[in-house]
Amino acid sequence: MNEQSKLYQKLVIASLATSLTLTIASASAYAEVSTGSKSQATAPSVNVLELVPVRTVAEALGAFIEWDEKTGAAKVTKGSTVLILKIGEKNATLNGKTIDVGQIVQIVNGNMYVPLGFINQTFASHIGWNNTQNKMIIAADDYAALASSFLKELNQNNMDDAVTYFGSGLKQKLPPELLKKIWLGPQYFGHLKQQISAQVDRNAVHTNVTLKYATEKVPGPVEIIIRFDKNGLIDDFYIPPILPSVTFNKPSYDNPANYEEKEVVIGDGEFALPGTLTMPIGEGSFPVVVLVQGAGPNDRDATLGAAKPFQDLAVGLANEKIAVLRYEKVTREHNLKVALNPKFTIKNETVDDAIRAVEFLKGVKGINPEKIFVAGHSQGGYTIPMIINEDKNHDIAGTIILAGPSEKFSDAIVNQSEELLKRLKSLGKPTDAAEQSMVMWSSIAKYVNDSEYSIYNLPKEFPIPQQAYWFFEQRNYTPAEVAKKQKGSMLILQGENDWQVPMAQFENWKKSLQNRQDVTYKTYPKVTHLLTEYDGVSTGADYYQPSNVPLVIINDIANWIKNVRK
């Protein structure tokens, strides 16, 4: 017997001994997953010597199975693990090496069976099996297995079984028939094939499982994030866009000795958000900046490509004894639930959470409640006048607009498209995609500016139907015009190499607010929309080169904050 077989035998014996001590109470720590005919529930079995159907169990764990009729062999692949099983043999091949299965591989009613303990050892899982009910049992804290099993049901179009993984709130909003309509995996990337990896992490709101799969239609891996609530049930799931894999480099000014970071929760209830509070080291009553993200389902670091501008700002300002609060955007942490709200607004998306963040900070030890600032980037900057209007208690000491549009949103996106097209042409780059985008955004602007339509009469032909209400609800909002009537210290920063919010938007801020004496303006020649520097002409491709927020921006923000008097 080889060393691996001896180890396997020891694991089986140890696991069997443990299984004999299980009580009915401990069985409640497992979730039963239907994988066959249903019968009356009994105490679940976790006998590692139990023979279990390979396809049923392996697919639920995210493995991909290929059957060779000629040789009677099954190839089971999950990530870097490749297992080959043959009918009638007691040995198998695992990653090119021969191992002992423990029992002869059997075929029963057309299904291949092997011992449960062998499956658990091979795939590092912790599942059990209820032989009476023909059900797989997954430990309540085995989130990777639960997420994989849920995606197996989606992949096989078993929506009735898929919704059994949902918490009560999501189950009510997303019944099987609606889940079938919104699950567009087969349309966009085809069926899920083998699982490449599964990573579990926790924040202050969810336990998150990030699964990567090879698929039919997409050459690279597709990532799917499943979010579990405190009860171990699915609260949301999210498919990030498929983007090039790049590496973020920490800035030279990131000195961990100067700060500590705490996981916090912004708001409460169904849409609570996890966040990070970066506090300078030392005693004191520190000023603090709330960072508000731009458009899209952004994370707390405002990650895009190889840049994390919000993380850079947090560690950079900590050196200046200024705290920073950043948080996951609601459209990322609660992506699915947000998408199910047909009347979701920009206030819901951005403004409400910024106000909740300010309210939270008022009660944090070490924070000066008289020195709470709000900095909005891109769409976050666009909403700064909205945030000021919602600050009913006048808790905000000052605001910062970082590359924020000053015009109506529909007009600003047309301006953005025009600028990108101009830059691509000047560089001799292909413009097909940019021209198509220009047509779409121009069409959106035309609809939004047409008085025939409103939130009560949305155009049926709107290019992005699911976002029609969002666009029309804010169509009369012009940030610079609202800011004209406001007062309070404001800093407006703009990169001159920004195509997403071109300099025309900045000039409009200056023109509109020319009669205000409490606004400071600064521009930076090489700075792009990500608040990082680029020597060439920025078109978005540069976002995938490692870059950081330059110290000059951090110093300008810090000096301005230190000079503000509320």
**pLDDT tens readout for residues 360-407:** 999 999 999 999 999 999 999 999 999 999 999 999 999 999 999 999
- Give the CATH architecture of domain 149-238: Roll (3.10)
Taking phi over 0 as left and psi of -120 to 50 as alpha, with beta for the rest, 342 belongs to alpha
pLDDT at 13 over 60: no
Confidence band of 46 (pLDDT split at 50, 70, 90): low
CATH superfamily of 3-140: Copper amine oxidase-like, N-terminal domain (3.30.457.10)
Measured at the CA of 308, the angle between CA 304 and CA 314, to 5 degrees, comes to 150
For residues 186 and 157, give the distance between their C-alpha atoms in angstroms, rounded to a whole number. Answer: 10
- Report which secondary-structure segment, H or E, holds 484: helix 479-484
Reading the block at residue 168, the tokens are: 């009560």
3-state secondary structure 88-114: CCCEEEECCEEEECCCCCEEECCEEEE
For residues 141 and 510, give the distance between their C-alpha atoms in angstroms, rounded to a whole number. Answer: 55
For residues 417 and 439, give the distance between their C-alpha atoms in angstroms, rounded to a whole number. Answer: 9
| 3-state class (DSSP) for residue 23 | coil
Measured at the CA of 449, the angle between CA 447 and CA 452, to 5 degrees, comes to 70
Confidence band of 9 (pLDDT split at 50, 70, 90): very low
User: According to the per-residue pLDDT averaged within each range, which of 47-51, 237-241, 355-359 is highest?
Assistant: 355-359
Q: Which fold has domain 256-407+478-563?
A: Rossmann fold (3.40.50)
Taking phi over 0 as left and psi of -120 to 50 as alpha, with beta for the rest, 471 belongs to alpha
Number of Cβ within 10 Å of residue 221's Cβ equals 18
- Report which secondary-structure segment, H or E, holds 222: strand 222-228
Instruction: Indicate yes or no: pTM above 0.85.
Output: yes
Give the position of tokens 């200056």: 510
Amino acid at 148: S
- % of the chain with per-residue pLDDT over 70: 92
Predicted confidence (pLDDT) per residue in 18-41, tens digit: 222 222 222 233 344 444 332 223
Domain ranges of the chain: 3-140, 149-238, 256-407+478-563, 409-477
The DSSP bridge partners found for residue 68 are 73
Predicted confidence (pLDDT) per residue in 157-201, tens digit: 999 999 999 999 999 999 999 999 989 888 888 999 889 999 999
What lies within 8 Å, CB to CB, of 446 at 6+ separation is none
Nearest to 251 by CA among 551, 554, 548, 558: 548
pLDDT at 55 over 60: yes
Q: What single-letter DSSP state applies at residue 233?
A: S
